[in-house]
Amino acid sequence: MNIEALRSRIGDFLAAHDPARTERLEFLRARYDAGLAWVAFPEGHGGLGLPQAWQLETDALFAAAGAPDNQPERNGIGLGMAAPTILAFGTEEQKRRFLRPLWTGEEIWCQLFSEPGAGSDLAALATRAVPDGSDWVVNGQKVWTSSGHLARFAILVARTDPDVPKHRGMTYFLCDMTDPGVDVRPLRQITGEAEFNEVFLSEVRIPDSQRLGEVGQGWQVATATLNNERVAIGAHAAPREGGMAGVVARTWREHPEGRTPERHDRLLRLWVEAEVARLTGERLRQKLAQGQPGPEGAAMKLSFARLNQQLSGLELEVLGEQGLRYSDWTMVRPDRVDFTGRDAGYRYLRAKGNSIEGGTSEILRNIVAERVLGLPAEPRVDKDVPWKDGAK
């Protein structure tokens, strides 16, 4: 199929499903079934096996027709992390069960990876999963769980074998957040909100049919998820002068009283860097269409975090006293992160988390150094030590 055939197919679909007359969920389900959800995904799973680069035009054509979207800002973990991981490692039954309601937004997803004692070192996690008949019984605690208060399902990594080195004793699961024993508690952040959560797992039973990948393959599956996460955060599609660069450029135009030659130079430099990052992200997404994401996503996420923090700081300087205002400190549990629709104070505070979420900047620098630049790896004294001995 060429791009013209895709455009024709979208036109035929819209003629048969008038967005103005079709109920939203019915429309989204039909779009998925027609292979026009993730066009790069295989047929039968929301796609047509087409180049990933054609997704932007597909979405643009639907938007121009006034079609409803799947509210991706509410389900970033599901769309950017869980879906490609399920596609790569899931059984056909798992793909049929989870991908469609994930894409339509009927089921929100969260991520149960980080732990209080194993944040940057994910492989040191201590949450245990013990087999019991056809189930696994899970006990432990997870932290920094975005959207845990909204999620129906979670991607979960737990330790299933403490007698082998830490990277080899983990297994990956799909956890139903409504099951008994799952306790989600809010974590209030510097913004005043509780976008993150901590999750306690007490005797949670997960059927073996919700294991993703082989037993003991959890590190390999989780690595694929993390690579997808970094791409989703750092290399998301954006128009020219989109994201924080666009917000700060607009603030600059609207507030001449905050301009100085030094700030002008900084704005130009950051605008150029943001544009370079955007174009690099375009190339990376085209590369992803050829296979699994690699360590390049770490570099994109590093750049995203740095630019967001520097741009949001510059915006506050341009605004002067106005930048010190903070509209609402009420403790709420939001359903999305909204950088562009909030005030400058929120953007400045929330950007501080960009260098932590999706892998800390320090860890990502190690990944880039070792896996992209080929520099010597840091010494790892516990690499070949059984987890139960290294954890003492």
Q: What angle do CA 45, 228, 65 make, to 5 degrees?
A: 50
Helix orientation angle between 243-254 and 261-288, rounded to the nearest 10 degrees = 160
Which residues in 335-372 are b (16+ Cβ under 10 Å) and which e?
A: eebeeeebebbbbbbbbebbbebbbebebbebbbbeee
Q: Is the dihedral of CA 307, 310, 315, 318 positive or negative?
A: negative
Tokens of 168: 């080899």
Single-letter residue type at 321: E
Q: To which residue do tokens 């544009």 refer?
A: 275
Tokens of 310: 């520097």
Beta-bridge mates of residue 174? 155
- Report residue 176: phi and psi, to 5°: -80, 115
Q: To which residue do tokens 């128009």 refer?
A: 239
Beta-bridge mates of residue 170? 159
CA contacts within 13 A on the Cβ side of 348: 16
Nearest to 99 by CA among 16, 180, 38: 38
Contact 70, 46 (CB under 8 A): no
Distances (CA, A) of 297 to 110, 174, 287, 324: 20, 24, 11, 34
Active-site residue numbers?
A: 229
Tokens of 201: 């797992």
Single-letter residue type at 44: G
